[in-house]
Structure 1
Amino acid sequence: MRTRAVPPAIKRKKGEGQWALGYREPLNKNEENKKNDDGLNVRQRIIDIYSKTGFDSIDPADLRGRFRWMGLYTQRKPGIDGGKTGALEDEELEDKYFMMRIRIDGGQLSGPQLRTIADISTTYARGTADITDRQNVQLHWVRIEDVPAIWEKLEAVGLHTIEACGDTPRTIMGCPLAGIAEDEIIDATPQLRDIHDRYIGSPEFSNLPRKYKTTLSGCTSHCTVHEINDIAFVGVKNDEGEVGYQVFVGGGLSTNPMFAQSLGVFVKPEQTHEVWHGVTSVFRDYGYRRLRNRARLKFLVKDWGAAKFREVLEKEYLGYALPDGPEPSAPLPNRDHVGIRRQQDGYFYVGFAPRAGRVNGELLGVIGDLAEKYGSGRVRTTIEQKMVILDVPEEKTEALADELARHDLQVRPSTFRRQTMACTGIEYCKLAIVDTKQRAMDLIDELEKRLPDFDQPLSINVNGCPNACARIQVADIGLKGQLVVDDNGDQVEGFQIHLGGRLGATFGKKVRGLKTTSAGLGDYIERVVRNFDEQRTDGETFAAWVQRADDADLK
């Protein structure tokens, strides 16, 4: 790392806990816990102590802090309503079971890996499994006593849970069709694996200010939504015809959403790990650590701007200047890879939609069987909570689609099945206020019956709290869980509504007073979708219509 010449914009940020400015003393409990002991060290305590002595023996600093470095959160105790979410302490909200997040970097699964996850789900997690919107598989009802055995099974097939949560580099998202899609700009798999193998689980980056989300893709659909990640490498071709990456930094949603900014550079494939290392180091050293709600990279990028960020990256961390590079092309209308499409090698992939990402161990086993029967066994997860089976001969694609449909896995889903997403919700999450998964699945069924002929693209993202795990601000209809008052004056589960969000362009519009109860959600969406369908011009998107529609038509 080069000697720092602290820019004026940085000097004004004294007191934010930035290591690069000499502020190394922890300014809050989270920073103190990380300084006291690296989160990676909890792994051995889980194996040697906690799995043998049980839940009640776990040090609270490990349980509610460092366990996240190993992909473990305590799950919500059943029966605690959403009104108590913010009022109770963690120990009152949590059950003696865990959510376990399995990293699936790039969404890539072999047949043995998928079968292992299916077996773990049925043996140790009461059959639970959800496909997340970061390509992971999430299990529930995991006992601390079983964690070492689960890790052994995962690691035997090349999977793990290290840094799936915590103030760390989370799962690296990649196009599920990397190396497969006919129209991809670059296969990012070698660079993705290089970054994973070099840096995931390394103490060098195991104490970041907060979570850190990476995407790396050469997909023309832009399926990894680079616009809302901390760092994103997006495949481009420069004027000389070389393929490489443009870099975006500082995206993120939650309660203060911001779109990532382009650094305007061109990164050669062999430079990718160096640039990732540099950007991550900037976040580690200059990121704000005083307040948790300002500890994401997006706040630093907002304060500095892309030009200053690039200057610090090049001068202090890389030691060389990156050439200017082109911006990526516009994304395709659908980014999810659902359907039947041709691969580079002449085989086909078959993408299908579970309902709101909800699967189970038995179903994962079925998917594994079908992938072996009709393809090579390779399966992919997507960031839209979908799955893809690869390497299917063209003549077998329809038979596979029929078999998937028999298990309620749709290759040609309705708009509502295809584009409805939901976070974990109050069923398991300690932060949630309302139910999401079942509500989303029921909503899909309702809308398919009420609006059977509606065929326009329309995303509906259902979130159980304000933290936007389900990306509500960039959905056509984003639903933020909260308690609302119904017609009888009773406080019930409901949603604040965001309308017309579009990735990289605009966040969803909030119409004053626009809320709905969970029970009235189907009626509301049917009403607004019918208004859109009646008023839209040819080719007009829902987001564009929202911008010109009367508020009365949005209510």
Structure 2
Amino acid sequence: MTLSDTETRRTPARSAARPPRPGGKPNGQWKVDGTEPLNGNEEWKQQGGGLEVRQRIESTYAAGGFASIDPTDLHGRFRWWGLYTQRKPGIDGGRTATLEPHELEDEFFMLRVRIDGGQLTTEQLRVIAGISQEFGRDTADLTDRQNIQLHWIRVEDVPEIWRRLEGVGLQTTEACGDVPRVILGSPVAGIAADELIDPTPAIDEITRRFIGDESLANLPRKFKTAITGHPSQDVVHEINDVAFVAVEHPELGVGYDLWVGGALSTTPRLAERLGAFVAPHEVADVWHGVTQIFRDYGYRRLRNKARLKFLLAEWGAEKFRQVLEDEYLGHPLPDGPAAPKPLGQGDHVGVHPQKDGRFYVGVTPIVGRISGPTLAKLADVIEAHGSSRLRTTPHQKLVILDIEEHRVESLVAALDELGLSARPSLIRRGTIACTGIEFCKLAIVETKAYATAAVLDLEERLAGFDLPHPIALHVNGCPNSCARIQTADIGLKGQLVTIDGEQVPGYQVHLGGGLASADREEPGLGRTVRGLKVAADGIADYVERVVTRFLAERDASAGETFAQWAHRADEEALQ
């Protein structure tokens, strides 16, 4: 991405190192403690930022191959361009925590294609498909952050991959690293008949002004954003660092309710409303203010305390808003109402009307796993039905836009032949999975294969049951919750478990989590049941058992959901 020097590539003035705060160690907050680095990550980020490594990739590493890569670039700065080394095949999960990164990694990369707002054209889809087939052994995964990830990428091929992506307006800039990550946006932005406001202009302004901006390229850790104008609140805003949720102010019209400080991982915390109303034209500036607060006040001494949620926990929402208004915006924001309870399902699966009389069709692959050849065929199918636009979603789904009514059923049938179902079973619809041990160096357990097998098995086992809603089954290969296990009906956290005296790959079970939805008044985290573990090959057995118990005991007259039942049920019922 090219930005003018006068527009955004301004490095913030750094204060001189200050003495530690009284009575304790400094937290590495630049505006409190000064900018002296307090750990190795902060040292190399100040010695040379992540954005600068692109030149070395193109001029040195692509020519010299994997062995030529500087270790700090490899394990640090490469992330700023969407590149992580992938896991070496054959290393079991029991060794994940005992081996050094260089012992776990293969000489191939995962490459994350950044898709802000999930907005794609069929031309862009074909380019990604071609890269997958030519350079990535046909791999392609839809993530729950609207990206597409490829695997088996060689550093020698990265410059050519960038050339192809950027030739159609795509990028990998800041797809990973201590930077503003991809901006989640409503997958039906600008087209849904029931949309309150189109967030696309705000998303575009943020990406144009700030992605690739050196002044924001050294944050304490990753920084996640979500913006939606749809009444289903379809961007999991409660678990993002900053989020803007459409709301109608009684005097100021339609704008956004501002949320900050959400994140999951091993210390989950839901975001909080600041009570502030953000007018559409102010979204980018408010986003910039929140991001700068994280840069200047975020904790940098300990990596496991370096997310915005920890700063919010110390400050509280009132102080956070005051600092935002006084130090970064220079004016107060008006108070605003909370967004109402969400309407409808936020995954957009199925056939739905657009505001222009055409239709959009949301489809479900199994656990986000797809392939380069399938993406190429998908582009053909979409164009054959008169469209050139599609969207990725925060739920590992795809949404096809702009379909004339008389072509809907033909499209649904053609997509089904590709394994993309517009009318999936409720278990397939609700299941997502992270990358897992197949490629991820942090993973302990495989996810995609086990989750896929469980979905196919459960579709047969539960075929005769009348499920009241999709059952959110989220499968994660480690404790870091990339698959959002704490906010699922059934969340499975990968670990080694002991079953009948034998240690095997398996999962700890979280039950009854969920974000705000049409079926749920308030978001909440799942409960854990002491000693409840499931073997990796026993997912279907457990889900069948607990869902059957739910259906037998739920208060159907009150519309009781799985999450509600799971929180009131006795532990015996959840085994």
Q: 1:548 & 1:201 partners in 2: Cα distance? A: 48
3-state SS of paired residue (2:181): coil
Q: What secondary structure does 1:366 align onto?
A: helix
| Cα displacement (A) at 1:547 | 1.6
The within-5 A match list for 1:102-117 is 102-117=113-128
**What whole-Å deviation, never above 9, does each CA across 1:18-65 have from its counterpart, x for those lacking one?**
000132111111111101101000011000000000100100000000
Aligned-pair CA distance for 1:11: 8.1
Match of 1:459 among 444, 448, 472: 472
Question: 2:509 aligns to what?
Answer: 497
What residue in structure 2 maps to residue 413 of structure 1?
Answer: 424
Equivalent residue of 1:44, what SS? helix
Counterpart for residue 326 of structure 2: 315
User: By how many angstroms is 1:370 displaced?
Assistant: 1.1
Q: Aligned match of 1:536 in 554, 558, 571? A: 554
The separation in 2 between residues aligned to 1:228 and 1:405, in whole angstroms, is 32
> Deviation digits for residues 261-303 of structure 1, max 9, x if unmatched?
1011111111111101100000000000000000000000011
The residue that corresponds to 2:392 in the other structure is: 381
Partner of 1:164: 175
CA contact (8 A) 1:375 1:390 kept: no
- Looking at structure 2, the residues matched to 313 and 178 of structure 1 have their Cα atoms a distance apart, in angstroms, of 28
- 8 Å contact 1:14–1:21 — kept in the other structure? no
Take 1:408 and 1:456, find their aligned partners in 2: how far apart are those partners? 24
Give 2:497's aligned amino acid: V
8 Å Cα contact 2:455-2:540 kept in structure 1: no
Q: Deviations over 1:497-528 (max 9, x none)?
A: 00000215221100110101112221111100
1:478 aligns to what?
491
Q: What does 1:174-189 correspond to in 2, within 5 Å? A: 174-189=185-200
Q: Deviations over 1:43-96 (max 9, x none)?
A: 110000000001001000000000000000000000000000000000000000
Within-5 A mapping of 1:384-463: 384-454=395-465, 455-457=467-469, 458-463=471-476
**Residue of structure 1 in register with 2:570 after alignment:** 550
1:497, 1:229 → 2: CA distance?
A: 23
Q: Deviations over 1:179-236 (max 9, x none)?
A: 0011111100001000000000110100000000001111111110100000001111
Q: Identify the residue that residue 516 of structure 1 maps to in structure 2.
A: 534
Aligned-partner Cα distance in 2 for 1:418–1:11: 53
Q: Which amino acid counterpart does residue 541 of structure 1 have in structure 2?
A: T
Offset of 1:473 from its aligned partner? 0.1
Q: Could you tell me the TM-score, scaled by structure 2's length?
A: 0.94
Give matches, 1:34-113, under 5 Å: 34-113=45-124
- Give the match's secondary structure for 2:446: coil
Q: Is the 8 A contact 1:477 1:500 kept in 2?
A: yes
The one-letter code of the counterpart of 2:65 is G
Aligned residue identity for 2:481: A
| Aligned equivalent of 2:39, options 28, 43, 49 | 28
CA–CA distance in structure 2, aligned partners of residues 91 and 406 of structure 1: 41
- Is 1:196 aligned to 2:207, yes or no? yes
Shift of 1:14: 5.8
Deviation larger for 238-247 or 255-264: 238-247
Q: Which string of whole-angstrom CA distances, capped at 9 and with x for unpartnered residues, describes residues 528-548 of structure 1?
A: 000001111121100110122
After superposing the two structures, state which structure 1 stretch, 122-131 or 445-454, moved more. 445-454
CA contact (8 A) 1:255 1:467 kept: yes
The CA deviation at 1:408 is 1.6
**Matched pairs, number:** 548
Q: Secondary structure at the match of 2:492?
A: strand
Maintained 8 Å contact 1:483/1:491? yes
Residues 141 and 371 of structure 2 are in contact (CA less than 8 Å); yes or no, is this contact kept in structure 1? yes
Determine the structure 1 residue equivalent to 2:158: 147
State the distance in 2 between where 1:201 and 1:408 align.
36
Aligned residue type for 1:164: A
- Give the match's secondary structure for 2:133: helix
Deviation at 1:12, TM superposition (A): 8.1
Counterpart check, 1:341 vs 2:359: no
Which residue identity lines up with residue 262 of structure 2 in the other structure?
G
Mapped partners of 1:161, 1:13: distance in 2: 40
SS in 1 for 2:451: helix
Instruction: Supply the distance in 2 between the matched residues of 1:81 and 1:332 (Cα, whole angstroms).
Output: 43
Q: How many Å separate the matches in 2 of 1:385 and 1:182?
A: 23
Verify the 8 A CA contact 1:472 1:480 in the aligned structure 2: yes
Shift of 1:13: 7.8
Per-residue Cα deviation, 1:363-400 (whole angstroms, up to 9, x for no partner):
00111111111132101100100001110001111111
Instruction: Give the aligned partner of residue 269 of structure 2.
Output: 258
Q: Which amino acid aligns with 1:47?
A: E
Q: TM-score under structure 1 normalisation?
A: 0.97
**Runs of 5+ consecutive residues of structure 1 not aligned to the other structure:** 5-9
- Range with greater deviation from structure 2 (166-175 or 27-36): 27-36
Given that 2:142 and 2:149 are in contact with CA atoms closer than 8 Å, whether structure 1 keeps it comes out as: yes
Q: 1:315-373: CA deviations, max 9, x gaps?
A: 01110000001111112352100000000000000110000000000000111111111
Identity over aligned pairs, percent: 58
- After TM superposition, the structure 1 stretch with the greater mean CA deviation from structure 2, 35-44 or 240-249, is 240-249
* 2:524 counterpart of 1:506: yes
Bigger mean CA deviation after superposition, 454-463 or 70-79: 454-463
Q: What residue ranges of structure 2 are gaps of 5+ in the alignment? A: 1-11, 16-20, 516-521
SS in 1 for 2:57: helix
Q: How does 1:188-337 map to 2 (within 5 A)?
A: 188-240=199-251, 242-337=253-348
